Amino acid sequence: MTIRHQGQQYRPRMAFLQKIEALVKDMQNPETGVRMQNQRVLVTSVPHAMTGGDVLQWIIQRLWISNLEAQNLGNFIVKYGYIYPLQDPKNLVLKPDSSLYRFQTPYFWPTQQWPAEDTDYAIYLAKRNIKKKGILEEYEKENYDFLNKKINYKWDFVIMQAKEQYRTGKERNKADRYALDCQEKAYWLVHRSPPGMNNVLDYGLDRVTNPNEVKVNQLSFYCVCAHTGHCGAVRRNRTQAALPSPAAQCPPHPLCRKGLGLSVVAAFPTTRRSYFFLFLP
């Protein structure tokens, strides 16, 4: 388990999520969006809930696409955490029936560019451990024990935060508490996927450079003296537009300081974009 920056500022491929977010915002339009109303889940009435069938029909009518294409797009939206299920939180697919869903708060959207840190995940697991009285799923127990060893130096802080969040949650009404629990569970299912579930945010190795930045040609200058053959000096980090004058090419070698007339006779590029200047008397 490593700290991964899911914002991925060096990942231009994340740009497609902005189009998905624009579609999700249209879904939440009170006049032309998906029909939402209070729905009863178990013994709790959850506000602003919608059915999977309504979401599917809205996508078909809004984009003029087939049922299969709308189903694939709906699954895509759920897998990335923009819509989360209320009745079966672990099943991140859009069911075309009366199954209930809610929109995820924008704070938990993948493009918010705040990392899903180990400390936050440890607080979430500790809070669930308190609520469930030690009854966690197998993979959650393994992650809990692993994080306890990894960040043991601040485990007291983790437990303190978990207890405080649990106490604050009990002060909310049942509907808000149930909805918030589903929000958090959906977020961590996306960002810390359990074994066997496809991690949609796994992009492989992170890039170390920004592909969008303006590149500057780097030139290296090597001065070769015909008298001694060893007065070379490597000069780096110069742009092609700022080449030094011939008088400044030769380094302060004893023979060069005697006023021997040296002139540039050749300048040619190499495969590594370095330029070699030969000086002869």
Tens-digit pLDDT profile for residues 182-195? 899 999 999 888 88
107 shares its domain with 16: yes
When divided into structural domains, the chain yields a total of 3
Q: Considering only CA atoms, which of 102, 111, 86, 84 is closest in space to residue 20? A: 111
Domain interval for residue 73: 12-111
pLDDT tens for 56-92 read: 999 999 999 999 999 999 999 999 999 999 888 888 9
223: buried, middle or exposed (CB in 10 Å: 19+, 13-18, 0-12)? Answer: buried
58 shares its domain with 130: no
Provide the token pair at 1: 């388990």
Q: Which residue has the higher pLDDT, 100 or 278?
A: 100
Domain end position, chosen among 111, 131, 161: 111
pLDDT at 7: 41
d(CA 1, CA 46): 34
46 shares its domain with 102: yes
Angle of helix 174-191 relative to helix 155-170, nearest 10 degrees, comes to 140
17 shares its domain with 74: yes
230 shares its domain with 256: yes
DSSP 43-68: TEEEEEEEEHHHHHHHHHHHHT--HH
Q: Name the least confident of 166-180, 199-213, 217-231.
A: 217-231
Residue 29 has pLDDT above 50, yes or no: yes
48 assigned to some structural domain: yes
Domain end position, chosen among 111, 134, 158: 111
pLDDT at 200: 79
Place of tokens 């602003």: 48
